[in-house]
Amino acid sequence: MAEWLNFVPPLLLLMVYLCECSLEFVEECALKGFTPNLLCSTCELMDDFNLSPIKPSCLECCQKDEAELSGPVKYPYAELVVCGCKLGRFPQVQAFVKSDRPNQFPRLTVRYVRGADPIIKLLDENHNVVETLGIDKWNTDSVEEFFLEHLQK
């Protein structure tokens, strides 16, 4: 039993060292402007916003997405909630809603709610809201791609 106790101090030193290294890593990423909960999928979008120079640093600081590890979650139903009177302020979302694109998703409902900013509600089999996403900054192709990836056929 006494031999086992000889391993405790070196093990504690190793744990302290690893924690300090991890803390240094988090601080280094924070100095670069990245948060500890940065997802790698966010880094992949850097090219879309002309931020390619910081993409390598982003990829060094990010965490793998759960969706990347297990594949994207497919939801049985979705609602695209918009306000008809505010739709003009979101031309990319308006272009999606007014086009034929929603017709390719039979499990998608476009719902007009007075005063609502554009959001996507992802629903389970019982039509209970599982997740809600604000899409006011999304472009038309991103909305379509999202439904292709996350909505069951």
Tell me what pLDDT residue 125 has: 95
Q: Which residues pair with 132 in a beta bridge?
A: 121
Classify domain 73-150 by CATH number. Answer: 3.40.30.50
The pTM for the full model equals: 0.55
Average pLDDT over residues 70-79: 85
| CB neighbour list of residue 75: distance below 8 Å, 6 or more residues apart | 122, 123, 124, 130, 131, 150, 151, 152
Q: Is 140 exposed, middle or buried (0-12, 13-18, 19+ CB in 10 A)?
A: middle
Tell me what pLDDT residue 10 has: 55
Tell me what pLDDT residue 21 has: 43
Segments making up each domain of the chain, as ranges: 2-68, 73-150
Tell me what pLDDT residue 145 has: 93
pLDDT in tens, 16-60: 444 444 556 678 888 888 887 788 888 888 888 888 898 998 888
pLDDT band for position 70 (cuts 50, 70, 90): low
